[in-house]
């Protein structure tokens, strides 16, 4: 078993990475203090893994709440329904909510846990590659608003993150590949070990080699844990983790979260960020091409499926929660690392976007 700690004083917690974690009651037991557990999952994941997790919690009173699968269901309606369920079933703040699923389930479940009675026990059990390497770690929780993604939420750390690598066995190919956009992000912000593996082990990655996946998940979680420990509430260096996301969230919003998986939008967004860096002269063509080739070799998209309105995308970016003023707060790659910039040149931004639209 691989294990690492995200050090946040009294909010510190461990991240466990291993095959079969969901059927290890001895490991699970130490994270549950109350009598009741609510497992939040979705219609895709619940039939695959809910029963085995329940068996591992046989000493608890276990409840389940199943939502539909998709980004559009990470909303205030489901947030309210889950809160109602907790109240109706007399949950207490020392009881625990387990988010069993991908990023949508984790973000929604975390926001519920942060809000119910001002904070109940919370465990992340991510089942998608993207959630395992990114959204399950760091305590960002949220739901979407009609004007923007993740606009309503809180920073709320889980008690633990339990990454069962066996859940990747049932992950559809498109979702599996999508998760690598976040791993490429870590390479761009300076993790040379991840960059080396992405360049040299493409065939094993595409074949879902478990040993290699364990290493990539561990390195990704380690990089994110290091950054979050330095800047928990994103007042400084944690903003680097938003590489490509300002563009990506706009793409998702404009297409109503129906055409692109999050990682696919992030991949296109990273390419847009590379374009802007090239136009600003802060990255060489060789470096930009290197990362374009990494994205492409993994099967990640570089362009949108259809022509989107540049003006609509820019309008969506105006509502990006990362903006601190009237400028666009963007993360731009350089030859060796990334920079957080305040950009107000709309012409350059539109040029960077336009190149990746079909």
Residues annotated as part of the active site: 118, 140, 182, 224, 234, 238, 242, 245, 249, 262
* Non-local CB neighbours of 173 within 8 Å, separated by 6+ positions: none
- Indicate the DSSP class of residue 325: S
Integer-rounded Cα Rg, in Å, for the chain is 20
CA-wise closest residue to 125 among 145, 109, 149: 109
* Non-local CB neighbours of 45 within 8 Å, separated by 6+ positions: 69, 100, 101, 102, 105, 127, 167
What whole-number distance in Å separates Cα of residue 345 and Cα of residue 331?
Answer: 15
Dihedral sign, CA of 269, 271, 167, 32? negative
Q: 261: which 2 tokens?
A: 């998986």
């Amino acid at each position: 078993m691989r294990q690492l700690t995200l050090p946040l004083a009294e909010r510190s917690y461990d991240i466990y990475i291993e095959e079969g974690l969901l059927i290890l009651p001895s490991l699970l037991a130490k994270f549950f203090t109350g009598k009741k557990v609510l497992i939040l999952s979705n219609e895709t994941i619940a039939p695959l893994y809910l029963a085995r997790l329940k068996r591992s919690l046989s000493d608890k009173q276990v409840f389940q709440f199943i939502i539909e699968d998709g980004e559009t269901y990470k909303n205030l309606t489901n947030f309210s329904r889950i809160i109602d369920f907790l109240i109706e079933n007399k949950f207490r703040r020392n009881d625990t909510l387990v988010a069993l699923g991908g990023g949508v389930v984790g973000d929604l479940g975390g926001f519920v846990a942060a809000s119910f009675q001002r904070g109940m026990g919370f465990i992340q059990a991510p089942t998608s590659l993207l959630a395992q390497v990114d959204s399950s770690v760091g305590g960002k929780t949220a739901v979407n608003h009609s004007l923007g993604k993740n606009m309503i939420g809180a920073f709320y750390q889980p008690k633990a993150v339990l990454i069962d690598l066996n859940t990747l066995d049932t992950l559809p190919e498109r979702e599996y590949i999508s998760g690598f956009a976040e791993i490429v992000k870590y390479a761009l912000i300076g993790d040379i070990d991840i960059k080396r593996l992405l360049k040299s082990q493409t065939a094993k990655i595409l074949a879902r080699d478990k040993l290699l996946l364990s290493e990539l998940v561990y390195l990704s979680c380690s990089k994110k844990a290091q950054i979050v420990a330095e800047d928990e509430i994103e007042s400084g260096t944690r903003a680097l983790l938003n590489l490509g996301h300002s563009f990506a969230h706009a793409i998702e919003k404009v297409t109503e979260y129906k055409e692109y998986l999050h990682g696919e939008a992030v991949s296109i967004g990273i390419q847009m960020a590379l374009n802007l860096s090239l136009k600003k002269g802060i990255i060489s063509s060789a470096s930009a091409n290197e990362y374009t080739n990494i994205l492409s070799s993994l099967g990640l998209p570089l362009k949108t499926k259809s022509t989107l309105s540049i003006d609509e995308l820019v309008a969506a970016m105006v509502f990006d929660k990362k903006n601190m003023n009237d400028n666009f707060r963007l993360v731009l790659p350089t030859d060796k690392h990334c920079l957080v910039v305040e950009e107000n040149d709309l012409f350059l931004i539109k040029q960077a976007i336009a190149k990746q639209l079909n």
